[in-house]
Structure formats: structure tokens, C-alpha cells
A and B are shown apart, each in its own frame.
Chain A
């Protein structure tokens, strides 16, 4: 139920005058005091006292259909807005259902505050109904967590949780509050509950001599590349990275989560690096003599084999988390601190460079890549996922917020939807969570109601969280949904094709009619089997007043290229085929009609 029209707001005076409140009231009052306007949740026994008090506060509560959805929505909300996302669940299964969403946020350093109800402290540890040790379970997947059993501890814990979630390297914080703490009362003193100043990591270090060393390496480099990561968005350092790149004419390669941190159309933007990066991007990294890593962590998906990774390159690593330094790749200079602050100190020490032979050399590496690109192949009557991404990008002028799941469609999106602006790609990077896109898009739309928001999900992942369609309907949320339906768990099938002798074990997928499924929720939809149908369906979705789902029936055995096989060197990639992308694939999912049958 949408509570935004509640007239019964808590008296603003409670923030200036210490007032006796129940723990339940304290919970919401503290969230409101921290600037929260929207929470994603699901009620249940141990959190009922809190829900009973919810109506008194100016908060919009989005009722989810599964608590994993609540955590992903809060995650999408945080990624789209940069604010802390809040998810609420009850004890036991409510709490454990959030675990995947919390782990997802932890892997991608997303600031969340998750509130769970807990059985009363009098029965804690007795295996009471719906009791689970959620602080124990989430210990390795939260930045910090709390078990609160006294009403007077609620406000300080929540205020500290917000500080921890958004400070340093951000992350999720969980607060488990016993039922009797919600029912008890205590003096609510918002100001007195303020936490001590955040303690920055004591091993931060970006002193003058390290800055000098970095500047010297940059000055003498002939073939430098900037590796642009998620940290640029987290630190809000877009301008500084751009200034550095332009000042020294250094090309920029983005990680998946770094897409949007540097404008896609910028002449210095090479594109995405890594396992499914374009060939010239990975070649440039492998031939580089200096990598300037900005807020990225040399994940295995971007390095390929570490034994052969950028062997000629010196490495400068600018990173806020000292435990990331030297974790995967040894570095020559580590500047450990906030990226924006470090770059602001580093920039004045760097000379201006007008032109660079290196950029021309990289241009030459592009070679026949353009010829191989499916966008440049003649329309053969088939619908390829890459077409869908391209047409979506074209129709939205690259300005929409896109939430993706994990797998082939995610990589095609990353390749063909050119992100100009930060916080426009919302995707599960580190954990690789199927089912993320739909709830994350709901969160993004709540955070940015004026933005156009699209879900792009595969037919597999979409079914993991498709009950949230009901949330869209109940909350009247305008998001557009693109299901990239190829009848397979596509990325797994691709690996089976390449590395398991085409043994398509358990990857063919029989799915419901997604348009009818949407219809059952009162959501409009259309099916697209050919490219012209895709284009008109996208237009129809954009014009439609409410949510709109498009079932794109794309080629079933299409694969994402280029591809660096796991464990191979970054430059040893499988290129795109030169002509018919599917000429080696005859088999079709026997369970599903194919686009070419129609």
C-alpha cells in the first residue's frame, strides 16, 4: 500500500525535543531523520510492531512479493540515486530471503540498510518460531551488522548503520531488532543518537612521494590506459577522470560497473574491457606500458589469466580499500584513498599533451572488428539480441536507466547500449545474480521517477523474480520490460557449446508466454520476432502509460563475442565470426518454437 498520502505524520518536534517513543516508532522516526523517503519491505510476525507504527510516518512503503526483491529494489534505488537503500523484512525466512540481495550489494559495494525483525530477546536462542541467526548468517556479506534487543539502542544503531553503509568503501549493513525492543519504549533523542565521526581505514595512504611517483610514471608512459571502475561513480569522480584523460590524451577502458562513468561517445573511450570486451580494448591493455586503475579491483572477469596480464605495463592503483591493493595484480604505485581527492592532488602535477601516437595505434587495432559487428551485417530476417540492444539505445537516445540481469543479454547490453551518463546501468557485477534486473529497476524508478527505466532480462533470470510484476501493478510503476527470450539459459549454453562439446544439459527452457503473464498482472505487452517488430514494440512500450513488457524472441543459439575463455590470456579472445553468426549451430531448443519457424 502506498503510504505517501498519510496525513498522520509524526510531529517534527520529536527531532528537536527528546520524546518517549516505542522502539517501532523510533525505527521509522530515525529512518525519516536520516532522510529516507522510500522503503521496500514485507511484513511478518516479528516485525509487526514496526509495521503497526508505519502509518504515522511520511514514508512510502513498497510491498514486495519476496524479500530478495526488497533487497534488490533497495540496491537498484541506491545505484540509481547514490542514496542509501532501505529494505525491511521479518525474522526467519523473511531475513534469509534477503541474503542473496545483501550478498549482491556487498560484492558491488552498494550502501544498504536492511532491517529485520527478530523474535523477542526472552526467547532468543531457543529455536522459537521463525527464529534464525541472521546476524551470524550475514556476517561475511555485510559491512557490519547489529542485533538490537533494547529500544534505546535502536536510534544509535540505525544512525551508525547509515554512516557505515555510505562511508569509505560502501556496503550493506543489517540491523536485527527483537520484537520486544520494538514494543518497549525509550526516549528518542535524534541528535544524541548521532554516531562518532567515521573512522577512515587507517591504512589509507596517498602521500606526496607516492603522488610524485605516479605523476612521473604518467609523464614517461608511451602507451598508457586508464582502467575506469565503479569507484568513479562511488566517489563522484567523473569530472576528474575525464580531466585527466583529456589532459594527457589517455584512452579509457571501462569495467562492467564502470560503464557510464566516462561518456561512451567520448573519443577517448575505448569501451568495455575483459571477458566480453572488444578486441582492441583488451589488446590495448595487453600492449600498454602503464595502467592507471581508478576504483576497480582487477576482477578475474577483466584480467583473464593473471600470469599473462599486461606484463609490459607498470601499474598505478587508486583505490579506497587497502585490502584490494596487490590482491590480484602487483602494483608499482598505490594511491590509497578517495579517488576524487587523490585525482585532485594528482592532476596539477601532470602536463598537457596534445596528441598521441598510441591512440592511432589503438585505432589501427580495430582492424576488421567493425566488419564483424552484427550491426553492420545485412538484415537476414532473424532477430538478434544485439539488434534489440542497439534499437533500444537508439530509441532512448542512450538516456534511459537500464537494469540488467546476468548472462548473455547483460553482455550484449554492455556492448551495444552506449551509456553516456553515470548511474544509468544497473547490473549485478560481482555476484552475478539472476533475477536482479526486475526488482532493481523498480528501485531505480522509485528513486528517479522522472527517468525512463527499462528492465532487460533473459527468459531464465526473469522467471527468478517475475512475481514482482505484481509489485509493479500494485504500486503502478512505469517500467518497461524487455525479455530477451532465446529458449535457453543462454550463457550456460554458450559455455556448453564451447567447452562441453555442445552437451546442452539442462539449459533448454520452457517458459510461460511472457505477454500473457504480464497480462495476468494487468500489464500490457507485445511479442517481437523480427527486427521491424522489435522497433515498433519499443516505441509502443515508450508511449504506453503504464508498465509494458516485450517478449523478444531472439536467435536461440547466438553467442556473445568476443570472448576470452576462462583462464586464457586477455588478448587470446575468440573473435566474432565474419559472416553468419550461427553457421556452426544447427540445434534448436526442442521445447520452444524458433524465430525462423514463424
Chain B
């Protein structure tokens, strides 16, 4: 199945390699990986989409946490989440064929971001299926796609499951359920981040 993880990592040289290398070591192909700034300074946010057996999510998360630069991991694929991708597509089009592309753009909620004598550029955001739908229509309508760039997926859980909320949960005193001597904090956090995997 396709797994989607969000990882908050320290923004330092080599961290991307460490994360990517982990998947290589586990013999898992990364479908897409996006990195950018997060709401915290010095912390980058990665969305990693990878194809792996259903029962491997636990080990992937546990292994990610073993990397010293990884601060938080969330298996967002298991939760209701907004997943978006951006694509820009350059299509060969002269004055006679532009009009039809304008219509297509409107249907797909895409924008024309560049117009040249022999081509135009479409910008589209959405789920993967929406982007693939546009590409399919372009190909079936005999348009020539000159170039295409896709960002890969970005994901965020719906509701209040932000890293800031996780931080707040960490401050909550441990419940009587978590009684490991001397380490109630970790046990409490463990319960939050292993939710749904036990």
C-alpha cells in the first residue's frame, strides 16, 4: 500500500540523505518526498510517500525516530488528512489551439501562468488523481506536453493534530496508565505517537 508519513526534522546539512538512505536500507522505494520549512524555525517538514506492505508502517516510523535529527513522525495516511500536490505543465499550443486549453484549465481549476507564441504553461494543485486527470485529457486531446514538473505530495492532518498540539500534549502530566518508573513523559508521548499501531 501507499504510506504517507510527515516527518519534522532538524534543518541541517545531510538530514535529507539520512532520511532517504533509511528507505534505501529498508529496500523501500520512495514515491515522492517533499521538504520545506515548517512553522518552527530550524525545523523542516518532510512528506514522504512510499510503497510498502501494510504492516511495515510501525517499523518505518520506529526507524525514522532512530535518526538523531528526526524530531517527530506522523503516519498521516492512517488519518483524515489534506493531501496536495502542485504541477506545472508546459503544453505546445499556438493561437488556434489556445482557446480549448483555456476551457480545460477552467474545468480543472488550473491557471495559465505563462503564455508564449508556441506554448503555454498550466499550474494545477490538488490530489494526485486531479493532476493525472488533466494530464490524461491533454494526452487524449493530442496536445504535446513539452515539460512537466510535479512537487510530490504534501500532507497535513485535518483538525488540530499539529506539532504544536503534540508539544502541548507532552506537557500534560502522565496518567496513571503510564507508570514506568521515572519516565512517565516518554510513555505518555509514546501513547500519542503509536496511536492506531498497537
Contacts and interface: CB of A to CB of B under 8 A. Distances in A.
B164 interface: no
A327 to B, nearest CB: 6
B129 to A, nearest CB: 33
A341 interface: yes
Given A203-B194, A321-B62, A322-B65, A208 B181 contact: no
A139 to B, nearest CB: 6
B17 A139 contact: yes
Given A140-B25, A321-B62, A325-B58, A206 B68 contact: no
B68 A144 contact: yes
Contacts of A336: 190
A341 B191 CA distance: 18
B187 to A, nearest CB: 6
Contacts of B61: 203
B181 A202 contact: no
A202 B190 CA distance: 5
Contact of B65 (A139, A144, A203): A203
Nearest to A164: B68
B158 interface: no
A99 to B, nearest CB: 16
Contacts of A532: none
A125 to B, nearest CB: 12
Contacts of A147: 13-14
A43 interface: no
A329 interface: no
B62 A323 contact: yes
A202 B193 contact: yes
Contacts of A344: 181
Interface residues of B, number: 32
B62 A207 contact: no
A140 B182 CA distance: 32
B65 A337 contact: no
Nearest to B174: A207
Interface residues of A, number: 32
Interface string B21-39: 1000100000000000000
B67, B178, B181: residue with the most chain A Cβ atoms closer than 10 Å: B181
B114 interface: no
Contact of B187 (A143, A169, A204, A327): A204
A200 interface: yes
B62 A201 contact: yes
Interface in A306-358: 321-323, 325-327, 336-337, 341-342, 344-345
A202 to B, nearest CB: 5
A205 interface: yes
Interface in A200-240: 200-209, 211
Given A143-B68, A323-B59, A323-B62, A205 B183 contact: no
A285 B72 CA distance: 38
A136 interface: yes
A222 B148 CA distance: 65
A200 B59 CA distance: 17
Interface string B168-198: 0000000011111111001101110110000
Interface in B57-113: 58-59, 61-63, 65-68, 72
Contact of A207 (B13, B182, B187): B187
Contact of A341 (B25, B67, B181): B181
A325 B56 CA distance: 11
B68 A201 contact: no
Interface string A173-216: 00000000000000000000000000011111111110100000
B18 interface: yes
B68 A323 contact: no
A240 to B, nearest CB: 12
Contacts of A589: none
A466 interface: no
Given A200-B186, A201-B65, A203-B65, A342 B193 contact: no
A209 to B, nearest CB: 7
Contacts of B66: 143, 169, 201, 321, 323
Given A323-B59, A326-B58, A205 B181 contact: no
Given A169-B66, A201-B62, 14 more contacts: A135-B14, A140-B25, A164-B68, A202-B72, A202-B186, A203-B65, A204-B186, A205-B191, A207-B177, A207-B180, A208-B178, A208-B179, A323-B59, A326-B59
Interface of B: 13-14, 17-18, 21, 25, 55, 58-59, 61-63, 65-68, 72, 176-183, 186-187, 189-191, 193-194
29 contacts: A135-B14, A139-B14, A139-B17, A143-B66, A144-B68, A147-B13, A147-B14, A169-B66, A200-B186, A202-B65, A202-B186, A202-B189, A203-B190, A203-B193, A204-B186, A207-B178, A207-B187, A207-B191, A208-B176, A321-B62, A321-B66, A323-B59, A323-B66, A325-B62, A326-B55, A326-B58, A337-B183, A341-B182, A345-B179
